[in-house]
Amino acid sequence: MKKIIQTREIPVIGRYDVVVCGGGPAGWIAAIAAARSGAKTAMVEQFGFAGGMATAGLVLPISVFTYNDKLVCGGIPWEFVRRMETVGGAQVEKPLGNVAHDPEVYKLTAQRMLLEAGVELHYHCTVTGCCHKNGHLTHIIMDTRSGPQALCAMYVIDATGDGAICNYMNVPMQKKTMDMQPASLIFCLGNVDTDKLGVDHHNKQGVNMHHEPIQKALQELAQTEDVPQFGGPWFCHILHDGFTLVNATRTFANMADHADATAAECKLREDAYKLTELFRRVDPAFKNCYLAYTAPICGTRETRHIIGSHILTGEEYLNQVHFEDAVARSAHPIDIHSAYDTRQRITFLKDAAYIPYRSMIVPGFDNLIVPSRCLSADETASASIRVQAPIMCLGQAAGLAAAMCTKDHISIHDVDIPTLRQTLISWGVDI
């Protein structure tokens, strides 16, 4: 491969205690937690809004906040849900506490909370590199509409989902032992008879809320004609009559590779139109529907997984091992989708599992915390943790931990775990 060498001067436009890279579920909550805890905080986000998979990916509902009639993901994430509720932008679907919401209300509520906390936002900025030495980060480099710029950081939270900062720093990654889960492009259908549809509320514990009759009809059609590869399908309520979000498309792709991601976006957009036509044929609720819009980006279930101070295993997860440094819980089923057909392996939990702080930090890297879906968990545990509510709670813990470290200028490995946990508990986190 031919290479070029580029040398450039990059202006440092800000100095911060904590820089959060990525404004998805982990990132924007982490930024608020850090800022509220006294750290001068910046957040870098490629889009012009926060939310990541919830807003740019249209992945609904936010799941799972409650389990066995107990709130397990509290604190700032739950405060956010309640604030959306007060303006009619969210509906908590009991008993699981899955949250149906209007993505536009999500964007606005998150924005208000970030600005109220004093977070400095760097929207329309893509993280493209970093400066580091011996495992210590000093600067985050980003491409902006004004050209390349840099932020100086005491502590960095990699909430990019794909572990972009980790990748730039050569953080060790786990080797894959099973096929990577597929990417999906969520799309919205309008003019749907949502009363007749009846399965766009995800409100039953221990039940996979896919639409079985449509799944069966599509499988039968696939025996005689071309039907796009699909999963589910799952239909998701967005608080507006006549509209439903559809989670059905799927394809194999390494979404951390731009060529794979490009091919996946093109294929899945075609598949969204094909599936819309098939829905019209097989179910009267969709007789007069139309494809209103597709998500700006594909939903990504997994890419990289770091090797942290502790790799959370599926066995530990299923047995609800209560770690001394537990900072979050997760109650979503272990949910492993096939990238090649409609199969889905789903294991429901007896109770919410615990996630240790050590799974967000890496030996030899003293000011980097990783709360996003690329955290240190094996492929089984990750297949549950990757959903939004637990990722938001991990972001909350990461932001608080980083802010605590700024006060004493200590390594993230030396954070006072009892104080970290006690503070999270006082915020309403069940750990």
Q: Which domains does the chain have, with CATH numbers?
A: 13-177+303-320+352-427 (3.50.50.60), 187-294 (no CATH)
pLDDT of residue 199: 65
The span from the CA of 368 to the CA of 412, in Å, is 7
The span from the CA of 265 to the CA of 271, in Å, is 10
Total-model pTM: 0.96
The span from the CA of 377 to the CA of 307, in Å, is 8
Strands annotated E in 159-267: 187-190, 230-237, 244-249
Q: What is the pLDDT of residues 228-238, one digit of tens each?
A: 999 999 999 89
Proportion of the chain above pLDDT 70, given as a percent: 100
pLDDT of residue 204: 73
Query: How far does the chain reach from its first CA to its final CA, in angstroms?
Result: 50
Q: Which residue type sits at 128? A: T
Nearest to 393 by CA among 53, 14, 62: 62
Q: What is the pLDDT of residues 253-291, one digit of tens each?
A: 999 999 999 999 999 999 999 999 999 999 999 999 999
How much is the mean pLDDT over the chain? Answer: 95
Nearest to 320 by CA among 271, 275, 355: 355
pLDDT of residue 198: 74
- Grade residue 200 by pLDDT with cuts at 50, 70 and 90: low
Please state, as a whole number, how many other Cβ atoms lie within 10 Å of the Cβ of residue 124: 15
Proportion of the chain above pLDDT 90, given as a percent: 89
Q: What is the pLDDT of residues 99-147, one digit of tens each?
A: 999 999 999 999 999 999 999 999 999 999 999 999 999 999 999 999 9
pLDDT of residue 344: 87
In the 8-state DSSP scheme, what is residue 162? S
Nearest to 76 by CA among 86, 87, 67, 65: 65
Please determine, for residue 210, whether its predicted confidence score (pLDDT) is greater than 70. Answer: yes
The span from the CA of 323 to the CA of 337, in Å, is 28
Q: What is the pLDDT of residues 337-378, one digit of tens each?
A: 888 887 888 999 999 999 999 999 999 999 999 999 999 999
pLDDT of residue 95: 85
pLDDT of residue 67: 92
Residue 369 CB partners (closer than 8 Å, separation 6+)? 155, 156, 157, 158, 360, 361, 398, 401, 402, 412
Residue 365 φ/ψ, nearest 5 degrees: -125, 105
Average pLDDT over residues 71-98: 95
> Exposed e or buried b for every residue in 383-396, given b needs 16+ CB within 10 A?
bbbbbbbbbbbbbb
Q: Which residue type sits at 101? A: H
Query: Do strands 368-369 and 147-158 pair parallel, antiparallel, or not at all (unpaired)?
Result: parallel
